[in-house]
Amino acid sequence: MVKNHKIIAAFIVLIVGLFVVISGCSEKQAPKADKTPSKKQYNEIAIATASAGGAWYPIGAAMAEIINKDVEGTQARVQTTGGGVENVKLVNSGDVEIGITISYLAYNGYNGIEPYPVKMQDIRTMFSGLSTGVLQIVVPANSPIKSIADLKGKKVAVGPAGGGALTVLSDIFKEYGFKFSDITPSYVSYDEGVTMVSDGHVDAAVVYAALPTPAVKTLEAGKHPFRLLGLDEQTLQKLLEKYPYYISVNIPKNMYGLNEDVRAVGTPNIVIVNKNLPDDLVYKITKAFFEQANLDKIHNSHPSAKELGLNNAAKAPVPLHPGAEKFYREKGVLK
């Protein structure tokens, strides 16, 4: 009887041993779960511009063409947006990878200054000195509106919602003693805005883009005479003193076939990227943009882009992306 118990016990030990060995083999053969978070692939990227009637759209189209041709493994497309204010938000959130905006909007967004309620600190500068956006206010030639002050109480096409014109308009209106809320705004593209002026649906239209602006050039070629409302010298100087990011711009009369030159304000435009874009990708894109043949392509995309060059590219209102910084150091732009 004792002998039988020993045989049974030995059998049980043998079975348990075999189970442990089999389990161990199974564990070794089972593939381990990869707990490393997958990195986002950037095979396709978007370039946020503005409405098709401004300067940013053709510039963005040229940039996309360069990326598609010279940056292997990455395809770029142009995305129309509300403009500078929205583009900072889109790049910060990662909804788009690259965006054109205005230097002061990038600065305000990064630091959480109006019109941004929170800090947009996922944006980085790729290059600056792209062009200068200029505020242009169009009215019919026979309009009783003679000054910007006369816009109070009027219907004005102010450009797309989220566009850079809104902040500039508010700053200018304050100097003339009224608020943005004192006009009736229509949020439409620049092309639509100048058409609404021609059709009499609004009293004035605002275009905020680099010179010469396609939307205004189209109006010049039409059958409806128009004027641009300029800033008087006193108000211009007050704006320049109060807001250091504005510069004085003279719109020559022969640009649009006007009767006289027009004084206006403008701000430099820059290209920003999301900080999570890989350093090597941003390096390759930046390098491609500043190859001479490609730089010429950007210059030729719109007259306003002709001043883009390495001299001002690294002058950033927000931190440079490390990929762009590497390129500028190689070129001796940064020490």
Nearest 5°: the CA angle 111, 112, 115 is 125
Give the pLDDT score at 96: 97
For 157-175, what is each residue's pLDDT tens digit? 999 887 878 989 999 999 9
- Listed residue (236, 208, 193) closest to 102, CA to CA: 208
Give the pLDDT score at 21: 42
CB 248 within 8 A of CB 292: no
Span 52-66, average pLDDT: 92
For 131-144, what is each residue's pLDDT tens digit? 888 999 999 999 99
Average pLDDT of every residue of the chain: 88
Percent of the chain topping pLDDT 70: 88
3-state secondary structure the chain: CHHHHHHHHHHHHHHHHHHHHHHHHHHHHCCCCCCCCCCCCCCEEEEECCCCCCCHHHHHHHHHHHHHHHCCCCEEEEECCCCHHHHHHHHHHCCCCEEEEEHHHHHHHHHCCCCCCCCCCCEEEEEEEEEEEEEEEEEECCCCCCCHHHHCCCEEECCCCCCCHHHHHHHHHHHCCCCHHHCEEECCCHHHHHHHHHHCCCCEEEEEEECCCHHHHHHHCCCCCEEECCCCHHHHHHHHHHCCCCEEEEECHHHHCCCCCEEEEEEEEEEEEECCCCHHHHHHHHHHHCCHHHHHHHHHHCHHHHHCCHHHHCCCCCCECHHHHHHHHHCCCCC
Give the pLDDT score at 38: 42
Distance CA 80, CA 62 (A): 14
CA 126 to chain centroid, in Å, comes to 11
For 258-271, what is each residue's pLDDT tens digit? 999 999 998 888 99
For 202-255, what is each residue's pLDDT tens digit? 999 999 988 888 889 988 888 889 999 999 999 999 998 988 778 899 999 999
Distance CA 286, CA 313 (A): 10
Nearest 5°: the CA angle 131, 246, 308 is 15
Span 15-25, average pLDDT: 45
Domains of the chain and CATH, by start: 44-131+269-330 (3.40.190.10), 133-267 (3.40.190.10)
Give the pLDDT score at 281: 98
Say which amino acid occupies 73.
Answer: G
Torsion of CA 251, 53, 98, 38, to 10 degrees: 170
